[in-house]
Amino acid sequence: MIVTKVGAVRGADASWNPAQSPAELTQAVHDNLRNLGLDALEVVNLRVMGDVHAPSEGSIAQQFAALAELRRQGLIRHLGLSNVTAAQVGEAQAIAPVVCVQNHYNLAHRADDALIDDSAGKGIAYVPFFPLGGFTPLQSGALSNVAARLGATPMQVALAWLLRRAPNILLIPGTSSLAHLRENLAAAELKLPGDALAELDAIGTGAPSERVA
């Protein structure tokens, strides 16, 4: 299933610039339809700019309503959100169904714990971006120790923890090689015993001995 994201465009310096007006969002959807050769997009996420990699409060009703109208026209089948707060998810749900939320979340960055649990109860998929730390990969003594005991890589353990965290989590770890892809896929089969889970859960508490660099 192809999931696309609209709401920002690349600048000449590779920066992300807002493209949030109804006209810009509509154009982005039509661009995706043309570029992908499709009659309808399966899922379109509204990227809310916020602080780029962190959400900030503010109404998204106008933007989401524009995409909901395209959904009504049959150009989009399902709608999602990215980089949003819990309040913004609620605001969007009052306009049209939300099938997924894509936010920054991993072993160390746990601000969305409550949103994940709430989304699970509502049948909304949660897709963590930067699941392995993003530009600064996760580095933790506890993570490395658990990986060594299980005969896995730290990144496999970090992905396995995310899959264990909630049934509605879908992972999108990036890769540039088949070997890395196979390594990521193997994380789905990795079993985390109770003591390992306790150690990994503690990483997100911010305790000095467990803090991730």
- Tens place of pLDDT for every residue, the chain, 213 residues? 899 999 999 888 888 899 999 999 999 999 999 999 999 999 999 999 877 678 999 999 999 999 999 999 999 999 999 999 999 999 999 999 999 999 999 998 999 999 999 999 999 999 999 888 766 667 778 889 999 999 999 999 999 999 999 999 999 888 889 998 999 999 999 999 999 999 999 887 654 434 454
Residue type at position 40: A
Residue-range domains of the chain with CATH: 3-104 (3.20.20.100)
Of 60, 102, 48, 99, the C-alpha closest to 77 is 99
Helix axes 61-72, 22-36, angle to 10 degrees: 40
- What's the predicted TM-score (pTM) here? 0.89
User: DSSP code of 188?
Assistant: G
